[in-house]
Amino acid sequence: MAVPFDQHEGEIWYDGAFVPWKDAKVHVLTHALHYASCVFEGERAYGGEIFECEAHTNRLFASAETLGFEIPYSKEVINAAKRETVKRMGLTDAYVRPVAWRGSEMMGVSAQKNTIHVAIASWAWPSYFDPAAREKGIRMMVADWRRPDPLTAPCHAKAAGLYMICTLSKHKAESNGYADAMMLDYRGQVAEATGANIFFQKDGKLHTPTPDCFLDGITRRTVIGLARSRGIEVVERVIMPDELASFEECFLTGTAAEVTPVGEIGPYNFTVGPITRALMDEYAVAVRPASAGLRDVA
Ligand code: PMP
């Protein structure tokens, strides 16, 4: 059994100072725990540098604002704290998890005066999906749960509450022998995976759902840029599930997932083809700091 996450060694940045990893605790009567008043980020450092550090911080602040609270530190302080966390943990290639939440002053739906807390942890997390399955393309099923209408939930925030349906969908997929689930949205359109965005390839063009009710991922935007700079057309549009039969390749994008090929979604099969492979390689180069000397390879 792997060491549980509350038992790692190291330090966590917690409300402005580093504390021993095992002491970075919250009380059971914390608003965030009961009412999901919590936002977070998932970032990766490569070669000692956090990829898109500022973009993730901007999203963390925007997510907090969407949930009606203000992070009590400047973006500069958070950026420096993230970098210092990776350094103190002695990591170069690492996952970084900032989290901000409402504390304990009020315990009810209303939490107008609650203190906002912020923590940043970092750990080594090499591959989100099993590396062998990743090589062949992961197997996915279609989730029962749907991404909510923007009038039903603050769907552009990276907020803890939005992950309830992701965990339910991922658990069901895993119980059925799949690696992940593809979620439709409230209209029945293809949306995304439980923690990553989705792309399809047909006739040399990429097709990806318009992110109007789910996270427009930072990796998604990076990969769209990489594809376009290679001359690959990227079409953001409505994709209906019955179109899956017509696509040749499929992959997921996300900070944790990076570019992960998909081999199967329910009855539909895809090949791990040249465009997916090229973008996997280009992404792996793009995330490395220029100082690592790898950027010129592509
Ligand atoms: N959708 C969901 C539900 C996610 O959890 C993530 C991961 N943050 C993404 C998409 C991809 O976002 P990003 O590329 O910014 O990591």
Protein residue whose Cα sits closest to atom 10 of ligand 1: 196
Q: Helix or strand or coil: residue 252?
A: strand
Where are the domain boundaries for CATH 3.20.10.10 in the chain?
131-294
- Find out whether the beta carbon of 215 lies less than 6 Å from any atom of ligand 1: yes
User: Tens digit of pLDDT per residue, the chain (298 long)?
Assistant: 789 999 999 999 999 999 999 999 999 999 999 999 999 999 999 999 999 999 999 999 999 999 999 999 999 999 999 999 999 999 999 999 999 999 999 999 999 999 999 999 999 988 888 888 888 999 999 999 999 999 999 999 999 999 999 999 999 999 999 999 999 999 999 999 999 999 999 999 999 999 999 999 999 999 999 999 999 999 999 999 999 999 999 999 999 999 999 999 999 999 999 999 999 999 999 999 986 554 443 3
Decide if 159 contacts 63 (C-beta within 8 A). yes
Distance CA 267, CA 182 (A): 13
Find all residues with CB under 8 Å of 166, minimum gap 6, and list them: 183, 194, 195
Nearest CA to 102 out of 27, 16, 31, 29 is that of 31
Helical pair 53-66 and 218-229, crossing angle rounded to 10 deg: 140
- Find out whether the beta carbon of 208 lies less than 6 Å from any atom of ligand 1: no
The backbone torsions φ and ψ at residue 60, rounded to the nearest 5 degrees and listed phi first, read -60, -45
Distance CA 196, CA 210 (A): 14
Fold of 131-294: D-amino Acid Aminotransferase; Chain A, domain 2 (3.20.10)
Nearest CA to 219 out of 40, 38, 39, 43 is that of 43
- Find out whether the beta carbon of 192 lies less than 6 Å from any atom of ligand 1: yes
Distance CA 151, CA 148 (A): 8
Distance CA 127, CA 39 (A): 23
Residue-level pLDDT at 291: 67
Protein residue whose Cα sits closest to atom 13 of ligand 1: 217
Q: How far is CA 168 from CA 1, 40, 92, 185, in A?
A: 23, 19, 33, 15
Residue-level pLDDT at 292: 59
Protein residue whose Cα sits closest to atom 12 of ligand 1: 217
- Find out whether the beta carbon of 190 lies less than 6 Å from any atom of ligand 1: no
> DSSP 3-state helix, strand, coil percentages of the chain (rounded to 5)?
35, 30, 40
Domain 5-123 has CATH 3.90.580.10: no
- State the pairing for strand pair 180-185/268-269: unpaired
Where are the domain boundaries for CATH 3.30.470.10 in the chain?
5-123
Distance 105 CA to ligand 1 centre (A): 31
Residues with a catalytic annotation lie at: 158
- If one residue of 51, 163, 219 were mutated to test the ligand 1 pocket, choosing by the most ligand atoms within 8 A of its CB, it would be 219
- Find out whether the beta carbon of 217 lies less than 6 Å from any atom of ligand 1: yes
Apex 160 CA angle, 157 and 165, nearest 5 = 100
Distance CA 82, CA 50 (A): 8
Give the global pTM.
0.96
